[in-house]
Structure 1
């Protein structure tokens, strides 16, 4: 596959973190195979904990309890409870990266941002790094489902948190990454070879000439909208949002794709994720639902005072960039179909996302062109 892949070195990254932030990030070169069953994985996880945290190195294995608390289509999250006394427990989470995800995720970019994101009060504290994952503090909350994201009260909370997230300042380049990443995905996706004959046959039905034209034309149109560039999550699906109802606390987690990006993309991508991995786009929010989000995003303290023009602007942005979201994740699906050993039909996911792109393309592009024409005439 084309494209440069940076070598992942946990010790080197941890040392860089210490130098940059004067923080204590524990490194280990150990790896854990995420394809193992939990009973097979448990002794490896315990060994990793002892290797990373020297205070635990002499604890008996019976002091450790390992549980799987989630498993998406790229990562696995483990909860480790360490019993330190009769009533003293310490809990951490271990996130195992899916195999070959370095082809689609810039781990160096992710880890460079995590320190600043967590310092701003988001997600879990970064504690350590190992051969194929990171260790973080435990968040006492549960992840949302796609249907949860439609709850008006939660919509307001998510909008407010995303507004806060968009104001995080990360040192370095403020260049939006969307089109850089899409073109990198295109380059990698267009030169795949599958060992499975049926997969290869299905892959060969994809017109990369057509995809190239679609990406180019959409990029030109999106650039005309001049959507603000902010630090963005870029993967705000239900599994990356957690809630603790008792504490009335909502968390945005997992920053694998976080970067400076267009406001419209982050919000439009979030709306596209209402459909879940099953891609049920009947769940995509209508105008009233989107306006409810926009009001709480734009003016959390006075949501009903948001000017109509501001709502319309964000509506156009979010929906045209939702098209970009479909292109981004459809290409991602093609690459994953080749690289990932996880039991998920990534090829089908490509076609579902690209089909929805085509279905909504004319409507959303027409709306954006009409909006731009109105702006010129004002």
Structure 2
């Protein structure tokens, strides 16, 4: 585990919550809920003096995540998203993490999402679409310009000037043509600018690990808003589809699920007034921004390969995402260009 031997000091809870300040250590227990490639999530159980058991969640930030995450923006958004019914309630903040209410649900996995592609979980697919539509309607005060290309160019600047101490990593890194990558970013940015995609407050990281489900109540939760920002709707949806491939990047079922999800998404927006034109527009928008998702996380992975102590092949992940971008690029560009050539499409 990249955090080493994790010790959650009970003093943290005592400092944040006055009513627990005089409890001895026997009243506290800690267990790991999940550990991804950015954060570690811990469940802290507190037995109060009257015997009441309280569970809270402690999220510990991964080392050096400030290079890719705006924590101030995240904390601002959490309050508004929580008020709108998303995620856990924020209970406190400390140096390298936060304390939130505990969600009684299980974290989804890539196999859970794979079930959606053969329509064995149509209710869950529709619920994700419904929740995402509602998420995109939350108003967060402040800067509302889409952040996608600002972030991509920021990542590119950092990613293209790295130096690895490990000679094998450096050798692999030097095989990357950053002139080519930059040219691809510029071309895709120009193409997406013609799509007039709506700008919404987006999750930007809706992978399986950021979805929780209470199976008994059939209640779905979106969690972890650290990459949240105002962004293009198509990016949020396209990025979500890409995450169905998991960290191994198996994109074989992308097309099937994209069609299903697009219909569900449009249905909950327009109820029974979904037109072929609306569906086509969303399909093209999502496919095109799906490419941007590959570039975003490919560049992100290079920075993590240098900065993160987590035991994960970030450098290999760059090549998985960038190669998938190149594989999908021609078809996605042709689809978008064909759509844009039609009268009234821009």
Same fold, TM exceeding 0.5?
yes
Deviations 1:11-59 (A, max 9, x none): xxxxxxxxxxxxxxxxxxxxxx962324xx1xx4312112222221211
Answer yes or no: is 1:169 the counterpart of 2:139. yes
Deviations 1:172-202 (A, max 9, x none): 1210000000000001101111111111111
2:72 aligns to what? 108
Give the deviation of 1:310 after TM superposition: 0.9
**Which of the numbers 53, 71, 76 marks the counterpart of 2:35?**
71
User: Bigger shift: 225-234 or 151-160?
Assistant: 151-160
Contact 1:296 1:303 in 2 (8 A): no
**Which of the numbers 128, 138, 148 marks the counterpart of 2:92?**
128
Deviations 1:326-352 (A, max 9, x none): 000000000000000000000000000
Give the deviation of 1:297 after TM superposition: 1.8
TM-score scaled by length of structure 1: 0.87
**Which of the numbers 309, 312, 337 marks the counterpart of 2:305?**
337
**Which of the numbers 201, 208, 221 marks the counterpart of 1:251?**
221
Alignment of 1:119-198 (within 5 A): 119-149=83-113, 150=116, 151-198=121-168
3-state secondary structure, aligned to 1:365: helix
1:6 aligns to what? none
TM-score scaled by length of structure 2: 0.95
2:247 aligns to what? 277
Runs of 4+ in 1 over 4 A off after TM superposition: 301-305
Name the CA distance, whole Å, in 2 between partners of 1:154 and 1:305: 22
Long gaps (5+) in structure 2: none
Answer yes or no: is 1:372 the counterpart of 2:340. yes
Contact 2:298 2:322 in 1 (8 A): yes
User: Bigger shift: 101-110 or 244-253?
Assistant: 244-253
Give the deviation of 1:377 after TM superposition: 7.9
Alignment of 1:48-87 (within 5 A): 48-85=12-49, 87=51
Long gaps (5+) in structure 1: 1-32
Contact 2:133 2:269 in 1 (8 A): no
1:318 aligns to what? 286
The verdict on how the C-alpha distance between 1:301 and 1:258 changes in structure 2, with shifts beyond 3 A counting, is closer
